[in-house]
Amino acid sequence: MQKKITIDQLRPGMYVVSTNRSWISLPFFRKNIPNQRTIDKLRKAKVTDLVIDLNKGVDVEVAIGNTEPLPEPGSPAAVQKQAEQAAQIQTMVFQQTAELMEEIRAGKVITEEQADQQVGLLMDQIFEDPQSMLCVSVLRNSDEVVFDHCVNLSILALFVGKSMRLDEEALLNLGKAALLHDIGKCMLPKEIINKKGRLTQSEQEHLRQHVDRGLAYLGKMKNVPAVIRDFVGQHHEFLDGSGYPGGLRGPQISDYGKLACVLNAYDEKIHRDSDGAAVDPRGALEEMQEQAGRLYDPEALKLLVDCLGPYPPGTILMLDSGEMAVAYEPNPNQPEAPKVLILTHLDGTFRDQPLPAQIGQAAGEENLVREIVTPMTLEDTNFNPLDILAKYGPQSA
C-alpha cells in the first residue's frame, strides 16, 4: 500500500516510491531511507511531498523513534540487504515498464520523462550496488519477454555507460534508449513477440518491422535525442551489412548503434526466446568475439566483456573441489575470483540450498578455499544456470 507524506514526516526506515521532483534531479539517492543525512539531502533538493510504500518500508507512526541500527557496511547482512534491494528494484522497474508499454500498446504517446523514472531507479541502484544489479540483469521476470529484455538491456547499457564515464545526462539517455529499443514490438501481435521457439519465415518478417515501427513511434514523442533514435533504429544492424532494417555497413552505423547491437545480441543469445537454444553467458561472449569485426564492433564488444569479466553471471563452473557452481557476481578487483553459488556437495550430490562463496576465500561447513578448474557449457549440464539464479541468487547470497 502506498501513502502520501510530506518531507517533515519522512523518517529513516521508510521506502520512497516517488517525490515531487523528478528522479534525475535527485541522482542516486536510496529509496530505502537509511538515515537523517539522506532526508536532509532530499530537503536540500527541494523535495516537499513524497509517496512511500508501506509494504517495503515503515509507516509514519512506526518510523518515529525507530532506532533499529542499519547493518554494518560490507557485513553479510548488508550484502544480503543490497542483493534483495537489487532484485526488488529490477522487479519494480519491470512492473513500471510493463505499465508503460501497455500504454504504448493502447496507442498512447508517452513522454521521455515517463521513462526517466525507471532508468533513474536503475541508475541509482547501479551506483549503489553495481555487482548485484549486474547479476539480476540476466534474469527473466515473466513470460512478457520484451519487457524483461528491455529492462535488462537498460541495466547492461547503464553498466557499460558507467564504465565509459558518461556524464549523467548521457547515461540517462543511454539507459532510456535501451529501455525503449524494442518499443516497436508493442505494436505487433503478442503471439509473435512472446512466442517460444523458432519463428516461421513470415513471423520473422513481421517481427523485423518492430525497428521501423519503433522509430515511427519515437517520431511522435517530443524532442527525442538523436542518440536514442540511433540506438533504437540500429540495434539489429551488423557491421557487414547483413542486419536490418537498413543493411547498414560499419561506418554507416553510429557508435550507439554498434553498442546497441552488441548488448542486444548478448541478451538474446543467453535467452534465445524466439530463435532456438540459449547459450551460456560466457559461451555467448565467446561466440560474439569470434564474430568481432564481421558482425560486432570490437570496441563496443570489449566494453561489454570488460564489464562482465571472464565469468559473467550465469556461467557454470567446475571447481577444484569437484563441486559445480554458478557465477553470480563479477569481481572487478580480482576478475578470476567471482562470487559463486555452489550447487553440489563434495560427493557430487546437489545441495538443497546453494552455498554462496567467493572463489579463493574459505566458505561452507568444510571451510574450504575453492578455485575454478574450468567453465562448463549448457550441454555439459541438464539445467539452465539462469533458472538457479532466478530461484536462489543474488537474494540468497
Closest CA to 186 of 203, 211, 155: 211
Q: What is the DSSP letter of 127?
A: H
Count of Cβ atoms closer than 10 Å to residue 347 Cβ? 7
As a whole number of angstroms, the distance between CA 178 and CA 175 comes to 5
Does residue 182 touch Fe ion according to CB under 5 A? Answer: yes
Which backbone phi and psi does 380 adopt, to 5 degrees? -75, -15
- Least distance (Å) between residue 190 CB and Fe ion: 15
Residue 145 CB, nearest approach to Fe ion (Å):
11
To Fe ion, the closest distance from the beta carbon of 57 in angstroms equals 36
Q: How far is CA 46 from CA 19, 26, 117, 171, 248, in A?
A: 10, 10, 17, 23, 47
Q: Does 230 bind Fe ion (CB under 5 A)?
A: no
Q: How far is the CB of 65 from Fe ion (least distance, A)?
A: 51
Q: Chain centroid to CA 306: how far?
A: 16
Stretch that binds Fe ion, among 95-103, 168-176, 177-185, 255-263 (CB under 5 A): 177-185
Residue whose Cβ sits closest to Fe ion: 182
Q: What does the alpha-carbon distance between residue 100 and residue 38 come to, in Å, rounded to a whole number?
A: 29
Q: Smallest distance from the beta carbon of 263 to Fe ion, in angstroms?
A: 11
Identify which range of 182-190, 248-256, 329-337, 369-377 contacts Fe ion by CB under 5 A: 182-190
* Region near Fe ion per CB under 5 A, out of 174-182, 312-320, 373-381, 383-391: 174-182
Residue with smaller CB distance to Fe ion, 53 or 212: 212
Pick 185 or 370: Cβ nearer Fe ion = 185
Query: Which C-beta is closer to Fe ion: that of 182 or that of 280?
Result: 182
Q: At 106, which amino acid appears? A: A
Classify residue 169 by burial, with Cβ atoms within 10 Å: 0-12, 13-18, 19+.
exposed
**Residue 373 gets which letter from DSSP?**
E
Return phi, psi of residue 350, to 5°: -75, 140
Residue 148 near Fe ion by CB under 5 A: no
Name the one range near Fe ion by CB under 5 A: 7-15, 175-183, 324-332, 384-392: 175-183
228-256: string of b/e by CB count within 10 Å (b at 16+)?
A: bbbbbbbbbbbbeeebeebebeeeebbeb
Q: Are 121 and 92 in contact (CB under 8 A)?
A: yes
Residue 339's CB is within 10 A of a number of other CB atoms, namely: 26
Stretch that binds Fe ion, among 3-11, 115-123, 179-187, 245-253 (CB under 5 A): 179-187
Q: Which amino acid is at 124?
A: D
Residue 236 CB, nearest distance to Fe ion (Å)? 6
Binding residues for Fe ion, rule CB under 5 A, total 1
Smallest separation (angstroms) from Fe ion to the CB of 386: 20
Residue 367 CA, chain-centre distance (Å), reads 33
Closest distance to Fe ion from the beta carbon of 246 (Å): 14
Q: Of the listed pieces 50-58, 87-95, 180-188, 322-330, which binds Fe ion according to CB under 5 A? A: 180-188
Question: Which residues between 27 and 86 bind Fe ion (CB under 5 A)?
Answer: none
Which residues here bind Fe ion, judged by CB under 5 A?
182
